[in-house]
A and B are shown apart, each in its own frame.
Chain A
Amino acid sequence: MSVSANDTTAKVSLRGFLAKYSVLIAFAAIVIFFSVASPTFLTPANLFNVLVNNVVMLAIVALGLTIVISSGGIDLSVGVSVDMASMIFVMLLAAGYSGIVGVAGGLGAALIVGILNAILITRLNISPFLATLGVLFIGQSTQQLATSGGQPIYLTSGYAADQFNAVARTALFGVPTPVIVLIVLVVAVHVLLHRSVFGRYVQAMGAQPGVAWYSGIRVPRELSTVHVLCALLAGVTGILLSATVKSYVPLSGNAFLLDAIGATFIGTTLSRERKPSVIGTLLGVLLLAIVKNGLLLVGWNFYWQQVGIGVLVFLVLAASFGLRRAAH
């Protein structure tokens, strides 16, 4: 009798364990799989490439979305923030301004997108989904109007190109600048979301907005900060993107939106209450980046990569939630 009871407990906790760490397990399995399937996968050169080109920019956008999703909202316009920052940054450099001015201008453009979202959501009481969807449409059209129908802006030589390089191609103690930027932002957002008073308010608004309001929290103000921060983070990605590819390609920011949402939700499987977290999001981003890279190395084309990622997201979420329910 007592033996069978112990068995059940063991089984339940094993299921609980699997549910809790399904992302980590999937992560390990995928790394092992690609290491075996492709000789180049585990080389330093490849991992470095994944980190700089696939992880950093997506992770920064995903950090912003992690804050927004924690507050119970969504920002569909992160791509617009990326693009606007990218566009203004490139335009300023092309006009001969210094890198500092370019970065400030780019972040300023993202800030405007964030403020617009904040006003629509907190002043006009439009739901975050619809408000940011509207901003997405407006932002896309704005870019096309500003670039005669979507012409990219390339800068390949001279003063402006040097300014690009100053942002993206430098390194500190052998670590590329973008990676340093990411590390700083990860730490900052982690502290903000999980250690600060503001972060606690964000969690409360996400858990039960009415309770936050009845507890004397300035919900509109905090929610505005949330959306401005998300847009600014996306703006950082926009600048890094332009600096890396030395150009501004209209509407290229949208590619980040769904991956960032996917990464954030994969990250929620780490938490019993399915709350987003910075660590979880980072894991989600790494998982997506590695799968994309690995599938590419074993010879799958771009479209099949998308299928692979879709299946992966399903598997991780289903495993985590299904096992958790069974363990309950």
Chain B
Amino acid sequence: MQTAKRDIAVSMTGISKRFGPVRALENANLEIARGSILGLVGQNGAGKSTIIKVLAGIIKPDSGSIVINGETVSTLTPASVEKLGVHFIHQDRLLVPTATVGEAVFLGHEIGLGPFVSRRAMQRKAADLLKRFFGMELPAGTLVKDLTTAQQKVVQITRALAQKASVLVLDEPTAALVKREVDSLFDVLRRLRDDGIAVVFISHYMQEIEKLCDRVTVMRNGTDVGTVDPRQTPIDEIIAMMIARDVGEMFPKRSVALGAPVLEVSNLRLGGSFENIGFNVRAGEIVGLTGLLGSGAKEIVQCLFGLKTADGGQVKVEGRELLLSTPVRAVRDGIAMLPEDRRAHGVALGLSVRENISLASLRRYSKSGLVSRGSENQAVDGLIKELSIKTPHRDALVRELSGGNQQKVAIAKWLSCQSRVYVLDEPTVAVDVGAKVEIYNLLNRLAGEGAAILLLSSDLLELVGVCDRVLVVYRGRLAGSFSGPAMNSDALLAASSGARSNIDGVAA
């Protein structure tokens, strides 16, 4: 193997960290080179966020050494790390929503005289930087909350660049972005790499790692198990390194005899979003739905759950026409929804596993308005076992569970309701690979039990792997229906971007 002398920006060696009895990091190493993009992958709990927090000065390691720009640093604080040129773009946006772009870029490093800040100067400089680095014409007086998630990411990166970052660490930066935005973010990152900046890219999306990264470090059980070139190592092999067992296949195969149509949508219309939408989902069928941001795919799903009220059209579940005006009705009519924003809409973090699971079906476990704890406990314990939800006990707070297990609690809530139709909105965003596979298995089992499943996703590989059929929405209309060999990510991508359509298939 060729060992070209790389220019090392950050070198972390032998880092260990325990939290009580839990070993978060055990002799972990991380080497970040200038002018290169390093991918960092691993399942949740593998230690990748811990090692990043160590580098960020948020967590103090028990042992190990850290060298930044040739200098051995003993104690790190968030402020001292920034001074050394290492900047972090965290997953949750950390921008003040009511600040202007200019204020956000210079937050903590305001331009001005003494205690007085010059908004105008900050806005002008921010606009300059945005244009210089990203060719982006963003009015710098725009408020952060009015920006798209992608634009906010760019503002965060600009903030780092304004402070002369030499190392940029991005934690799951694409989680909330659509394809086009991901592409432009990647262009930005490549340009930064070419300027000699060291970029660390943490992601659950293997395709992104393969596309973007020069090297990828895989973590497992608190240590680094290897660093490889993602362009020369098959994805399956990287995944196998992450979970230490042969994945076999990420997308479990299944064969289900399809039943009668359960969900029938015809001529659905919402002004400004979509029109003339019609499709069926049969019992046992998993139908995918995809489209770019603003295509209307998301709004279709929202109408089906009563979050938005359609202007016209018909929705039937098992032959009965529904009046979908609120989620209250949708739930009563047997529609289950797995929302994209799990923390805001999916599970209540401050409630117990039990309270979350029974929330939508309490009437089942109650007599004359009082909850019968016996039957509730029995049902909840059954579902915890059935979905193998990893929780110490049924009364543990959902906050204490991992992301994948939280998602399973959200699914269990609807199983408890015995819903007939499952509408899933990006169910595997920010969920690690192992949990993803479990969620796919769960979908298969739901389908096997005769549920109708509509899966909205922007992960094309996931759609191809899981669905029987994928519907593509382009500019508010169905632009294609793909199944069998015609259902591949190239075709889906082409149809979502309007390059090709497959209207014939829509008749199905």
Residues of chain A touching chain B, judged by Cβ–Cβ distance below 8 Å, are: 191, 195-198, 200-201, 203-204, 207-208, 210-218, 273, 275
Contact = CB atoms under 8 A, between A and B. Distances in A.
Contacts of A211: 344-348, 356, 359
A195 B349 contact: no
B371 interface: yes
Contacts of B397: 273
A195 B372 CA distance: 8
A200 B369 contact: no
B359 A200 contact: yes
* Most chain A beta-carbon neighbours within 10 Å: one of B328, B355, B366: B328
B339 A203 contact: no
Contact of B371 (A200, A207, A210, A214): A200
A208 B344 contact: yes
A210 B359 contact: no
A208 B330 contact: no
B141 to A, nearest CB: 28
A212 B413 CA distance: 12
Contacts of B371: 195-197, 200
Nearest to B352: A273
B289 interface: no
A204 B355 contact: yes
19 contacts: A195-B370, A196-B366, A200-B358, A203-B351, A204-B348, A204-B355, A208-B349, A208-B350, A208-B351, A210-B341, A211-B346, A211-B356, A212-B348, A214-B305, A214-B339, A214-B346, A215-B360, A216-B328, A275-B350
B332 interface: yes
A213 B327 CA distance: 7
A201 B348 CA distance: 12
Contacts of B337: 214
A214 B340 CA distance: 12
Interface in B415-462: none
B344 A200 contact: no
Interface string B313-338: 00000000000000110111000010
A275 B397 CA distance: 13
B448 to A, nearest CB: 25
B363 A197 contact: yes
Given A208-B348, A211-B346, A217-B359, 17 more contacts: A195-B370, A195-B371, A196-B366, A196-B369, A197-B362, A197-B369, A198-B369, A200-B358, A200-B359, A204-B348, A207-B348, A207-B349, A207-B351, A211-B345, A215-B331, A216-B332, A218-B328
A212 to B, nearest CB: 8
B277 to A, nearest CB: 22
B369 A207 contact: no
* Most chain A beta-carbon neighbours within 10 Å: one of B305, B339, B359: B359
A82 to B, nearest CB: 28
A272 to B, nearest CB: 8
A218 B326 CA distance: 9
Contacts of B355: 200, 203-204
A48 B298 CA distance: 63
B338 to A, nearest CB: 9
Contacts of A273: 350, 397
A198 B330 CA distance: 20
* Most chain B beta-carbon neighbours within 10 Å: one of A195, A198, A211: A211
B328 A197 contact: no
B331 A216 contact: yes
Nearest to A211: B348
Contact of A210 (B345, B350, B351, B360): B345
* Most chain A beta-carbon neighbours within 10 Å: one of B327, B349, B355: B327
* Most chain A beta-carbon neighbours within 10 Å: one of B331, B337, B362: B362
A212 B345 CA distance: 8
Contacts of A212: 348, 359
A196 B332 CA distance: 20
A201 B361 CA distance: 11
What are the 8 tightest A-B residue pairs by CB atom distance, in nearest-first order? A216-B331, A208-B348, A207-B348, A215-B360, A207-B350, A214-B345, A211-B348, A210-B344
Interface string B366-405: 1001110000000000000000000000000100000000
A207 B337 CA distance: 19
Contacts of B370: 191, 195-197
Nearest to A218: B328
Given A211-B345, A211-B347, A214-B339, A204 B369 contact: no
Contacts of B327: 213-216
B90 to A, nearest CB: 22
Contacts of A214: 305, 327, 337, 339, 345-346
Contacts of B345: 210-211, 213-214
A198 B328 CA distance: 15
A213 B470 CA distance: 29
* Most chain A beta-carbon neighbours within 10 Å: one of B349, B355, B369: B369
Nearest to B307: A214
A269 to B, nearest CB: 16
Contacts of B331: 215-216
A127 B341 CA distance: 23
* Most chain B beta-carbon neighbours within 10 Å: one of A207, A216, A275: A216
Given A195-B371, A207-B351, A211-B345, A217 B363 contact: no
A204 B344 CA distance: 12
A327 B355 CA distance: 25
A204 B356 CA distance: 8
A198 B369 CA distance: 7
A204 B347 CA distance: 10
Interface in B70-114: none
A184 to B, nearest CB: 17
A312 B56 CA distance: 40
Contacts of B347: 208, 211
Contacts of B356: 211
A213 B341 CA distance: 13
B344 A215 contact: no
B366 A197 contact: yes
Nearest to B372: A195
Contacts of B332: 216
A198 B362 CA distance: 10
A208 B348 CA distance: 5
A211 B347 CA distance: 6
Given A208-B350, A210-B344, A273-B350, A215 B369 contact: no
B146 to A, nearest CB: 21
A204 B348 CA distance: 7
A213 B330 CA distance: 11
A317 B173 CA distance: 39
